[in-house]
Amino acid sequence: MAQEIKFSLLYRDMWQSSGKYVPTVDQLTEVAPAIIDMGCFARVETNGGGFEQINLLFGENPNKSVREWTQPFNDAGIQTHMLERGLNAIRMSPVPADVRKLMFQVKKKQGTDIARSFDGLNDPRNLENSIKFAKEAGMISQAALSLTVSPVHTVEYYTNLADTLIEMGADEICIKDMAGVGRPATIGKIIKNIKKRHPNTPIQYHGHAGPGFQMASILEAAHAGAEYIDAGMEPLSWGTGHADILAVQAMLKDAGFKVPDINMKAYMKVRTLTQKYMDDFLGYYINPKNRVMNSLLIGPGLPGGMMGSLMSDLENNLSSINKWKNKHNQPELTQDDLMIKLFEEVTYVWPKIGYPPLVTPFSQYVKNLALMNVIQLEKGKERWSMIADNVWDMIIGKTGKLPGEPAPEIVEMAKEKGLEFYTGNPQDLYPDQLDEYRAEMKKRNWETGQDDEELLEFAMHPEQYKAYKSGDAKKSFEADLANRKAEETASETVKTTAPVSEGNGYQPKTLVINIDNEEYVVNISYPENGNGGTAQPAAPAQVTAPVAAHATAATPATGNVKEVASPLEGKFFLTKEPGETALKVGDSVRKNDIVGYIESMKTYNAIASEYDGTVIEICYANGESVEEDDILIKLQ
């Protein structure tokens, strides 16, 4: 009898691997019936990871989204699964145990059947609570092996890891080839070993198409005994995403496996709706290069799930680097130049910090560290001069045990900073906090929500939740979207003009545009051409949108003013944890004191004062965007 293979649609990860945002709840509920009608999916990935945090970022309630999105699949008997990050749950930083436990309870009640849990370091201690809490909540616990290729990540390593997770109670195992760099033969060997030792444990294979191995890996996984295969579909398959279900189904059917048929009319309906959402607004956050497969990814091993944000990071930092180069009369870099430099730096730094598997959040940490090194080197500074707090926490063991050993130079830098290496259970460093968050919600007169789901969101994403509740998140998103639409309009409509002598030469300096009944001022600048006339715009149009008020007004200065500047672009925060006391005007500051943080590329970079003094002005509000060299704090 032919071996049966079942499919799971990665509708969450399809968007996550392509760009920044995910569809709105109305869009998700619109496409769900067509996905069901395709008739080929036993499972659908509906939420988890960055999904709910992204809802907050564009001002939508993530709990409403998850409940309404999972319901049609629950009704149809299709299992839904979420992705969660072990110690980090569904955010980028460690989460207290009581918040983690509540998450599984809430997600089960919202309609999520399976919890796919992975740890970015493959530390079983970080997954033990995930397995326990998922099962207590009535969910299927699927523990993931985060696949990567290094001298320490061997077939034996992953086989033993699976043994440990199954002994802890995991119901299923996921082979999580998050970067698509897993070699097909190796994947087959790992699955065969697990099946030999645990024949009744279901295995699901998850991979990415980017480097080019995935179709071969899927075939090897199926032959080795995997029961479930993850897939994507057009227009968001391939590239940094996943192999398309049409190709996967045809390949496995030809190989003799029993696979479900696909309702092509429904497939085209889902394809059309997905394209409609891209045309609506989501396409503005998808870099075209993310739709292309690239075997250069084999070297750095960066995962598909972060490539969408990576291209955005490169674009932003390229602008910063080139500003500096122009100022110092140096030739500019192209985005491809910067990307290759980044990939080379990733391969350099990765072994030196202990081979953490390149999966969220540690893929971001490694990428950010490499990118900071590249930026500093391009600006004539030293490598390692900007290491974020999150990265140090990873290096010294606060988030789990690294698979390899940090290089001596890294260990020496840690000692110079007075950091101690930690070998205990990472969860012990993050005490329970739900009561604190519950008390704060009561103080703010906020409801904790059905099944405490609003409490969960606040405890999981405090700053984003505050911005969501205040309406600032929605305003910021709408302004950013308007800016992108204006840039597109400007690039399409403003062409090279004739010399002034051939016409009236009028070129508007500002335009007022109306988008979704909101008016925005667009500032346009024009360089001179060789004839003294004007050419195409020198830079994309910039939309002027309201910004948050500064945190304080300046007190009168009576002496020399010392300024603390931002070393990079990002969002300025006075604190990064709820219990921290924010700096305020009148406070005394000593040299090397932390005065705030820049959140950039999903990590927090501590900003230390270079001077002693008294704070006379805090120049930016919490969460406000800043550019490199913007003045953050003034001292006297």
User: Which residues partner with 173 through β-bridges?
Assistant: 143, 203
Torsion-angle region of 400 (φ positive above 0: left; ψ -120 to 50: alpha; else: beta): left
579 or 506, greater pLDDT: 579
Asked if 56 and 62 count as a contact pair (C-beta separation under 8 A), the reply is yes
Asked if 65 and 28 count as a contact pair (C-beta separation under 8 A), the reply is yes
DSSP state of 283: G
User: Is the confidence at residue 364, as pLDDT, over 50?
Assistant: yes
Rounded Cα gap, residues 150 and 108, in angstroms: 36
Tens of pLDDT along 54-82?
889 889 999 999 999 999 999 999 999 99
User: Is the confidence at residue 187, as pLDDT, over 70?
Assistant: yes
Tens of pLDDT along 371-403?
889 888 888 888 998 888 889 999 999 999 999
Most confident of 92-96, 162-166, 281-285, 524-528: 162-166
- Three-state SS for 297-351 is HHCCCCCHHHHHHHHHHHHHHHHHHHHHHHHCCCCCCCHHHHHHHHHHHHHHHHH
Of 175-184, 324-333, 598-607, least confident by mean pLDDT is 598-607
Of 146-150, 299-303, 333-337, 351-355, least confident by mean pLDDT is 299-303
User: Is the confidence at residue 342, as pLDDT, over 90?
Assistant: no
Q: What is the mean pLDDT of the chain?
A: 86
Tens of pLDDT along 585-611?
999 998 878 889 888 766 777 888 888
Q: What pLDDT does residue 542 have?
A: 45
Mean pLDDT (whole number) for 102-118: 98
DSSP per residue, 569-596? SEEEES-SSTTSPPP-TT-EE-TT-EEE
Closest CA to 216 of 259, 254, 185: 185
Q: What pLDDT does residue 376 have?
A: 85
Q: What pLDDT does residue 415 have?
A: 92
Q: What pLDDT does residue 312 have?
A: 64
- Work out the percent of the chain whose per-residue pLDDT is above 90: 57
User: Is the confidence at residue 9, as pLDDT, over 90?
Assistant: yes
- Work out the percent of the chain whose per-residue pLDDT is above 70: 86
Of 189-193, 302-306, 350-354, 480-484, least confident by mean pLDDT is 302-306
Closest CA to 401 of 425, 418, 419: 425
Q: What pLDDT does residue 554 have?
A: 56
Tens of pLDDT along 190-238?
999 999 999 999 999 999 998 999 999 999 999 999 999 999 999 999 9
**Beta-carbon neighbour count of residue 134 at 10 Å?**
32
Mean pLDDT (whole number) for 98-112: 98
pTM assigned to the model? 0.78
**Beta-carbon neighbour count of residue 588 at 10 Å?**
10
User: Is the confidence at residue 506, as pLDDT, over 50?
Assistant: no
Tens of pLDDT along 145-156?
999 999 999 999
Residue type at 52 in one-letter notation: E
Q: What pLDDT does residue 519 have?
A: 43
Q: What pLDDT does residue 306 have?
A: 56
Q: What pLDDT does residue 445 have?
A: 97
Q: What pLDDT does residue 305 have?
A: 54
